[in-house]
Amino acid sequence: MAVFRARAVAVAAGVPAAFAVLAGLLTVCSTTATATAAEPARVVSAADQRPWSVTRDLVRTARPPMAVTFHLPTADRVVFITIDDGVHKDTKGLRYVEATKLPVTAFLTAWTIKDRARYFSRITRWGSIQNHSATHTSMALSTTDLEHEICYSQRALSKDFGTTPWLMRPPYGAGFARMETQVTAARCGIDDFVMWDAVVENGRLVDVGNGLRPGSVILLHFTPNLEKDLKAAVRAARAAGLKPADLADYLPAPSPR
Ligand SMILES: [Zn+2]
């Protein structure tokens, strides 16, 4: 089964009515092969480009109160490592996380993960498990069953891991601005849509935009390259004078839950 992945970079628009423009470049990779094939650049739909109250780093909608975070404004010298999907479970990556007590946030697709060996529980021991939909369907599509993609995943991940996610990363970074998406997500316990402003793949940092800075959110995927990608992320952070921190410390679960 093919796994579709996307990477995107947000840039601030220079006119008041505009806001972050999301440029996505779809990549396709099989669950067994490490090679990716680039497809034409894709710009998110007009539905993702509604005028909001916007800063360069944090997009906050007027209603419902759903934050969309590309980068966390903080003075702390920290970055956040996030890992998406969950089909492939690289044991070397897990060993590296356990040896270094590395905080990572796993955004998991509920349908595709199998965690009988408690891989995801172990790899997020210093981080958390969050929601990346049920089937990895784009939330920008009007045909997408948002109730299933968001709310079923909340229940499934909660049952599997004992904690209910409060953060969500929409597949392909798409559809987060749709009112239907926001209403459904808010109703099912999601507080923030977490995007990213840096990507590590194939062992190197790409699509960084302005470079790693305090509060950067780095996107990785659960691939056979995970150990290499984790080391590359940590190396890049150190080179910028930053260190990985737990995203849940900066975007904590609301209480009580
Ligand atoms: Zn994904």
Q: How far is the CA of 16 from the centre of ligand 1 (A)?
A: 31
The answer to the question of residue 143 being in a domain is: yes
Task: Name residues whose C-beta falls within 8 Å of residue 213's C-beta, 6 or more positions apart in sequence.
Answer: 71, 240, 242
Determine the distance separating the centroid of ligand 1 and the alpha carbon of 62, expressed in angstroms.
27
Distance 18 CA to ligand 1 centre (A): 27
Q: Is residue 66 situated within a structural domain? A: yes
Asked whether residue 151 is domain-assigned, the answer is yes
Is residue 5 situated within a structural domain?
no
Q: Specify if 43 maps to a domain.
A: no
CA of 237 to the centre of ligand 1 (A): 23
Assess whether pLDDT exceeds 50 at residue 19: no
Whether residue 8 contacts residue 52, with contact meaning beta carbons closer than 8 Å, is answered with no
Number of structural domains in the chain: 1
- Please compute the mean of the pLDDT values over residues 131-137 and round it to a whole number: 97
Rounded to two decimals, what is the model's pTM?
0.76
DSSP 48: G
Q: Is residue 121 situated within a structural domain?
A: yes
CA 202–ligand 1 middle distance (angstroms): 16
User: CB of 244 within 8 A of CB of 78?
Assistant: yes
- Report pLDDT digits (tens) over 52-95: 333 333 444 444 567 899 999 999 999 999 999 999 999 999 99
CA of 134 to the centre of ligand 1 (A): 10
Phi-psi region of 118 (alpha: psi -120 to 50; beta: other; left: phi over 0): left
Strand partners, 71: 216
CA dihedral sign, ordered 164, 167, 171, 176: positive
Determine what percent of the chain is predicted with pLDDT higher than 70. 74
How high is the pLDDT of residue 113? 87
pLDDT of amino acid 34: 29
Ligand 1 centroid vs 84 CA: distance in angstroms? 5
d(CA 49, ligand 1 centre) in Å: 21
* CA–CA distance, 11 with 142 (Å, rounded to integer): 26
Domain with residue 180: its CATH number is 3.20.20.370
pLDDT score for 18: 31
Q: Say how many Å lie between the CA of residue 150 and the centre of ligand 1.
A: 14
Please check the confidence at residue 97 and state whether its pLDDT lies above 90: yes
The confidence score (pLDDT) of residue 1 equals 31
Residue ranges making up the domain that contains 103 = 55-250
Distance from residue 178's CA to the centre of ligand 1 (Å): 18
**Cα 155 to ligand 1 centre (Å):** 19
User: 208-230 pLDDT, tens per residue?
Assistant: 777 899 999 999 999 999 999 99
CA distances in angstroms from 76 to 24, 83, 131, 213, 245, listed in the order given: 29, 22, 26, 10, 10
Average pLDDT, rounded, for the chain:
79
